[in-house]
Amino acid sequence: MTWAEDNIFLGSDTAGHTTVYDSNEGITKGMSPMRALLTALGACTGMDIVAILKKRGQNLSSLKVLLDGDRPEYGLPKPWTSIHVKYVLSGEALEKRFVEEAIRDSTEKYCSVGATLSPTAKITHSYEIVPKSSKQSFRSASSLPSSSERRQPSPKGRQSRQPS
């Protein structure tokens, strides 16, 4: 982890991949560490879902993982106390039983990020299978909201839903 400037830090792994972290204040140049925890959860469970459905012979063509969470309004630290994960899947003839099995196996057996967060955050899940031809629009997982799009937490500490 390297401090770049102001509240900007660059996190790198041993393979040379870099992530930019920033605070939630003003115009940001990176993701906040707490938002990064949510996106790590989405990526971890999403990778599980893709692998499990592939193993089950399911023709998955699209997966979006939407994350929503609550944190305390007052006091420090402010850990996630509840997180909701919604999977939006699309594919030709996806079978509900295999989707449910993939979600259950990811959340109960495989996702290490979820296992790390679950002692302090109640993590719930839901899913929706949308038709392959559905024109639902999602922001790219790699894009960050502009300052005018960025939602601020509500007074109760609710964080906005973001794709991961």
Instruction: Look at the chain and report how many structural domains it folds into.
Output: 2
Q: Is 48 found in the same domain as 1?
A: no
9 in any annotated domain: yes
Q: Is 40 found in the same domain as 27?
A: no
Q: What is the mean pLDDT of residues 130-153?
A: 44
21 in any annotated domain: yes
Using left for φ > 0, alpha for ψ between -120 and 50, and beta otherwise, residue 45 falls in alpha
Mean pLDDT of the chain: 85
| Lookup: tokens for 86 | 């919604």
122 in any annotated domain: yes
Confidence of residue 146 (pLDDT cuts 50, 70, 90): very low
DSSP character for 148? T
Q: Is 18 found in the same domain as 44?
A: no
Q: Give 79-108 as a DSSP string.
A: ---EEEEEEEEEEET--HHHHHHHHHHIII
| Lookup: tokens for 45 | 């469970």
The parent domain of residue 8 ranges over 1-31
91-101: per-residue pLDDT in tens? 999 999 999 99
67 in any annotated domain: yes
11-40: per-residue pLDDT in tens? 999 999 999 999 988 889 999 999 999 999
Q: Is 162 found in the same domain as 91?
A: yes
